[in-house]
Amino acid sequence: MDVRLRKLLGTDTLLPYWLLLPSIVFIGVFFLMPLFNAIMLAFRADNGAFTLDYFKKMVADVRFIEALKYTFLLAITIVPLQLITALAMALLVNTGFRGSRFFLYLFALPLGISDLAAGLIWLSIFTQHGFLNSILYSLGIIERPIYFISYQNTGLTFLAVVMAEHWRATAIVLVILVAGLQMISKDYLEAAEVLGARGWKKVWYVILPMLKPSLQSALIIRTIFALQTFAVVLALAGDIIPVLAGEAYFWHFLYRNSHVASAYAVFLMAISIGMTWFYLRFLRSRMEVIRG
């Protein structure tokens, strides 16, 4: 490196920090500042006084309990389902059979579709005159359309949302797991084979433990995103299934109360932080057992 530049940047020990600076500024301006503002909005009244009124209002909201319930239900249904599917898909792709790359691209395709668009695609499948009803009808299975999306059948509506989310967001887990799988050295697998491990045994005793760091990242990312699920639910289920992120959006844009909207956002953030902490703690201790 140029001597003058080196002088300007300080010693070598400082260099990494200089290189990190642009990201830090970016995160500061676009994440930390809005975050700070949201927290301020949630806790401060218009006259500047500290208040818990907005949180009280949030909890007293007729839709709060429903939104909380569905947010958690969605997360605990979708995340494990996605993890299992993504793992199966990643293992399949990783066997390296002819055309496995094609499958990787095919599986990753939904990544390129915006969540609202994905919601609308699935809506066109599930509405009364949608593709699914048309197919069932033309096959003579049903006589009149089934209401898949209906306030009378929230279970079915919930299932539709789960399917749409599952289709849309499993790819991100897949990509993380494929990357993790490719980092596992062939030596371990060969050693396992020499020692007589075949098929599932190899997966269970070698691949899965070594994949744990990737699984952990995938879990954290997916859980946080699942808690924020909103556009797909809005497009598919409208007002039938309220979720926390949706309520924040409505308070801000429909009822124009940014304070309560921020209270929802801060509450959601607290849950996300809590879940992340839980994963880090829970999965790390098991990792140590394995390493030990």
| Inter-axis angle of helices 258-291 and 53-60, nearest 10 | 80
The yes or no reply on residue 250 touching another protein (CB under 8 A) is: yes
Q: DSSP E strands: which ranges in 190-280?
A: none
Nearer residue to another protein within complex by CB, 65 or 270? 65
CA distance 57 to 63: 11
* Helix/strand/coil for 139: coil
- The answer to the question of residue 131 lying near another protein (CB under 8 A) is no
The strand pairing partners of 44, in sequence order, are: 50
Q: How many residues sit in the footprint of another protein (CB under 8 A)?
A: 27
Does 246 help bind another protein (rule: CB under 8 A)? yes
> Binding to another protein by residue 150, rule CB under 8 A?
yes
C-alpha to C-alpha distance for 123 and 238, rounded to whole angstroms: 11
> Among 255, 277, 278, 282, which residue sits at the site for another protein (rule: CB under 8 A)?
255
Rounded-to-integer distance, Cα 121 and Cα 216, Å: 30
Interacting span for another protein (CB under 8 A) from 22-30, 142-150, 172-180, 211-219:
142-150
Q: Which two tokens stand for residue 186?
A: 């062939």
Among 77, 257, 272, 276, binds another protein (CB under 8 A): 257
Which residues 155-214 are close enough to bind another protein by CB under 8 A?
none
Query: What is the binding site for another protein (CB under 8 A)?
Result: 61-63, 66, 123, 127-129, 144, 147, 149-153, 234, 236-240, 246, 250, 254-257
